[in-house]
Chains A and B, each alone.
Chain A
Amino acid sequence: MTETADDPAPRPETVDLARAFEDSGTGDVLRELDEEMIGLAPVKSRIRETAALLLVDQARRQMGLATEMPTLHMSFTGNPGTGKTTVALKMASLLHRLGYVRKGHLVTVTRDDLVGQYIGHTAPKTKEVLKKAMGGVLFIDEAYYLYRPENERDYGQEAIEILLQVMENNRDDLVVILAGYADRMDRFFESNPGFRSRIAHHIEFPDYSDDELLRISEIMLGEQNYAFAPEARAAMAEYIAHRRHQPHFANARSIRNALDRARLRQANRLFSEARGPLGAEELSTITETDLRASRVFRGGLATDRARMAQAAE
């Protein structure tokens, strides 16, 4: 039953913010964020600010000082592999603990999940996704693809209109996070002013520094029970410095791919070199040679292609 005049919940006289902070579990999420995510200092401070704002807002509503739900839609901008999706997951659980979304699940979609193939296909598709995300957070990756100015009959516009409508009318039911590269998102917001005004929090994700990427690589290996040999760690640092200046660099994602390939080479090496039984140590050590074999040290994709073209001639 909805709240009526005959059951006025007693309004508290004072609020203990520190207590509310601990009780809601907000502290746990923020600590988790601090421990699990390397770097990203500006992002973390923005999230802490947002959490504080929401906590105060909640207290104000308990005391009857505010009635409106604050707008919580966000945009995450940054280069690929800077942790946008991971932070969105944390954000969903933060909003859940603070009681701003009921379920706290994250639904990740891209243009394909929202926009249909033919007339009349888009609206049901978009609504289906929105319904699935209700009670949680809808994360739209590379949101600028929704808007294609070069094709005026593009169905993306229809999806945008439905999105805007639901973002406005069902503000209590779901939180939308738009994500993508900074410059293209800016252009997207320029051509869709409706989005800009409905999004309260713009959070920028900076690129990782070389040092941070090295720490990330060690954590990634640790999670899979691998470790660098001492000289391999130096090779990895060098690898990161090289890789950064080559095309298609995607921060932490490039690192993950590099490690996957290093594991492949390690497995190959063990297979061809091993004489007799192997211990846990050998099975879980990535050595310098596993990393040095990468073409990144020889100039990357570009030089490889050039050589192949030469050979073809």
Chain B
Amino acid sequence: MRLTQGTFSFLPDFTDEDIRLQAQYAIDKGWAVSVEWTDDPHPRNTYWEMWGHPMFDNPDAAAVVYEVNECRKEHGGKYIRVIAFDASPGWESIRMSFIVNRPKEEPGFRLVRQEGEGRTVRYTIQSYSADRPEGARYA
């Protein structure tokens, strides 16, 4: 099951040139772009591991593509995303986030039902890959 999180996730995978153009858009807007990776695909897993510092003062997006490729060398079999942080007052949050790298096999999620008091049923999802320990989740 293809993970659909953030912007553009229903589109085919981006090429490096596509990544560069999107990142350049964010940079031109004055947002700080950074690269993050994780191997826990749960949608509520907000805080991914940072790959280096956010790039506050790089005027050109080639630097972002460079870092994405450096990150792929290390974490090629995991999820990698590019996020753009808007520091302007009144916003101070992520403006844009898109996945640029994903594992070959994405096993998807199982639905878990919990019987609560008075026959209440609580639903949650669990990633199949998260059964295995961190670092051993994807080939």
Measured CB to CB, the residues of A under 8 A from B are 1-2, 102-103, 105, 124, 130-132, 134-136, 170, 172-174
Contact assessment for A132 and B57 in the assembled complex, using a CB-CB cutoff below 8 Å: yes
Contact assessment for B62 and A170 in the assembled complex, using a CB-CB cutoff below 8 Å: yes
Kindly identify which residue among A124, A135, A170 contacts B59, using a CB–CB cutoff of 8 Å. Answer: A135
Contact assessment for A135 and B18 in the assembled complex, using a CB-CB cutoff below 8 Å: no
CB-nearest residue of chain A to B69: A169
* 18 additional contacts (CB under 8 A) given A1-B17, A132-B58, A134-B63: A2-B15, A2-B17, A2-B18, A102-B62, A103-B59, A105-B59, A130-B63, A131-B55, A131-B58, A131-B66, A135-B60, A135-B62, A136-B60, A170-B62, A170-B66, A172-B62, A173-B60, A173-B66
Contact assessment for B67 and A131 in the assembled complex, using a CB-CB cutoff below 8 Å: yes
Measured CB to CB, the residues of B under 8 A from A are 15, 17-18, 52, 55, 57-63, 66-67
Interchain Cβ contacts under 8 Å between A and B, 7 examples: A103-B59, A124-B52, A131-B66, A134-B62, A135-B59, A136-B59, A170-B62
CB-nearest residue of chain B to A173: B62
Q: How distant is A107 from chain B, measured CB to nearest CB, in Å?
A: 10
Secondary structure at the A interface, as helix, strand, loop or mixed, is loop
CB neighbours (8 Å) of B62 from chain A are 102, 134-135, 170, 172-174
Q: How distant is A72 from chain B, measured CB to nearest CB, in Å?
A: 15
CB-nearest residue of chain B to A107: B59
Q: How distant is B82 from chain A, measured CB to nearest CB, in Å?
A: 14
Within the assembled complex, what's the spacing in Å between the Cα atoms of A273 and B58? 53
CB neighbours (8 Å) of B58 from chain A are 131-132, 134
CB neighbours (8 Å) of B18 from chain A are 1-2
Contact assessment for A134 and B17 in the assembled complex, using a CB-CB cutoff below 8 Å: no
Q: How distant is B131 from chain A, measured CB to nearest CB, in Å?
A: 35
Sort A-B residue pairs by CB-CB distance and give the 7 closest, nearest first. Answer: A135-B60, A131-B63, A173-B62, A134-B62, A2-B17, A134-B60, A134-B63
Within the assembled complex, what's the spacing in Å between the Cα atoms of A172 and B57? 20
Contact assessment for B17 and A132 in the assembled complex, using a CB-CB cutoff below 8 Å: no
Residue among B57, B59, B61, B67 with max Cβ neighbours from chain A (10 Å): B59
Within the assembled complex, what's the spacing in Å between the Cα atoms of A225 and B122? 79
CB-nearest residue of chain B to A132: B58
Within the assembled complex, what's the spacing in Å between the Cα atoms of A134 and B58? 8
